[in-house]
Amino acid sequence: MQQNERGEPVTIVDIARQAGVSIKTVSRVINREEGVGAQTRARVQELVEQLGYRPNVSARSLSSRRSYLIGVIFMQVGAYHYVGEVQVGAMRACRRAGYHLVIEQVKPPETVGGVQAFADVLRDARFDGVVLTPPTCDDPEVLIAIEAAGLPYVRMAPHKEFERSPYVFTDDRRAAWEQTLRLWDMGHRRIAFIDGPDTHGSAIRRREGYISALRERGIEPRPEWIAKGEFLSLSGFDAAEALLRLPERPTAIFAANDEMAVGVLAAAAKHGLSVPRDLSVVGFDDTPAAESAWPRLTTIHQPTAEMAEAAVEMLIEGFGDERFRGRVVVRQLDYRLVSRDSAAPPPV
């Protein structure tokens, strides 16, 4: 069923011979090109399915100068969940369109020769396009390498230079604003914030949302309420420790991601504080950690997989019209507030 009479994979030649047409005609049917009569098309189509023919990607790319490969570029720094979601979403979109997903890791900036190695990989992988995740999507060297290779790319939640390429994003600023107001509306007035690294655009925008929400309610957030974090659980723990030692302790802590929020939970436990009775804690992202923490985290759902899916779709659609030539395409996806058990009105 999947082999021709010589015991080898079915090729376009086999189809052509059996259908009594030229290989070019079969090629046209496969690629949904016009210029084929209805009956011919149907006959070829049927044979293709019957023999289980699948085009040879190598031959196809050699000839068409397309690889049907999309690359996802990331820098592994412990954000397994995020990268995993991106991959799953990207893969879904790829599969729908007959593409495959290749993953490539960029070494953290400090690594010697990292970018050169990356450029080499780009050149021999011959991707049709790549998706960039934060914080790589703002790394100037990486961007230059990709542009030098003439590759179309889409960035996910970029930090700056929005005109430089198409990108997908969610409104982090507004989401953080809503999250903060949610605490406010519960009655919290001393709301602290744990920041992410400045290399992530979303961290910055989340902080902005937090600040603007408080200002809107007529409160200027005190500097000591904003603690530096690194998006890692441990940094959330440390930041929370500092916040909980403040003379006027915050009644609520908003961590810029769930991982840090889990760290806050641990710090609260260490200080003998019951969440949410003595302290409310909210996160951001809605990772599995949020669901499995105790108490379950009130957070904001980030449609990571869907964003990646959208990014790949934009890439593939872009291949049609002269590869994005200059056009910047933007796609926004919606976040969603998730209410669980870690936030409640403050102690009276």
Partner DNA sequence: GCAAGTTACGACAACGTTGTCTTAAAATGA
Partner DNA sequence: TCATTTTAAGACAACGTTGTCGTAACTTGC
Q: Is 229 exposed, middle or buried (0-12, 13-18, 19+ CB in 10 A)?
A: buried
Supply angle C-alpha 85, 90, 91, rounded to 5. Answer: 100
Residue 296, token pair as written in the block:
């379950």
- Which stretches does DSSP call E strand in 133-217? 153-156, 167-170, 191-194
Q: Which residue number, 31 or 274, has a Cβ lying nearer to DNA?
A: 31
Answer for which of 40, 61, 199, 212 binds a copy of itself (CB under 8 A) is: 61
Task: Verify binding: residue 56, DNA, rule CB under 7 A.
Answer: yes
Task: Verify binding: residue 35, DNA, rule CB under 7 A.
Answer: yes
Task: Verify binding: residue 246, DNA, rule CB under 7 A.
Answer: no
Q: Which residue number, 41 or 126, has a Cβ lying nearer to a copy of itself?
A: 126
The answer to whether the CB of 263 falls within 8 A of the CB of 240 is yes
Cβ contacts of 260 within 8 Å, gap of 6 or more? 194, 196, 229, 231, 232, 233, 235, 236, 239, 283
Answer for which of 51, 97, 103, 242 binds a copy of itself (CB under 8 A) is: 103
Positions 259 through 288 that interact with a copy of itself (CB under 8 A): 259, 262-263, 265-267, 269-270, 288
Q: What separation in angstroms does the CA of 132 have from each of 17, 136, 197, 245, 312? A: 44, 6, 18, 39, 10
47: closest CA among 67, 23, 72?
Answer: 23
Answer for which of 40, 45, 199, 212 binds DNA (CB under 7 A) is: 40
Beta bridge partners of residue 331, listed in sequence order: 168
Task: Verify binding: residue 249, a copy of itself, rule CB under 8 A.
Answer: no
Stretch that binds DNA, among 26-34, 231-239, 293-301, 325-333 (CB under 7 A): 26-34
The answer to whether the CB of 191 falls within 8 A of the CB of 252 is yes
Positions 62 through 81 that interact with DNA (CB under 7 A): 62-64
CB atoms within 10 A of CB 155: 26
**Minimal distance in Å, beta carbon 103 to a copy of itself?**
6
Provide the binding-site residues for a copy of itself, judged by CB under 8 A. Answer: 2, 9, 52, 54-59, 61-62, 67, 69, 76, 78, 80-81, 83-85, 87-88, 91, 95, 98, 100-105, 117, 120-121, 123-126, 232-234, 237, 259, 262-263, 265-267, 269-270, 288-289, 291-294
Provide the binding-site residues for DNA, judged by CB under 7 A. Answer: 8-9, 11-13, 20-25, 27, 30-31, 34-41, 53, 55-56, 59-60, 62-64
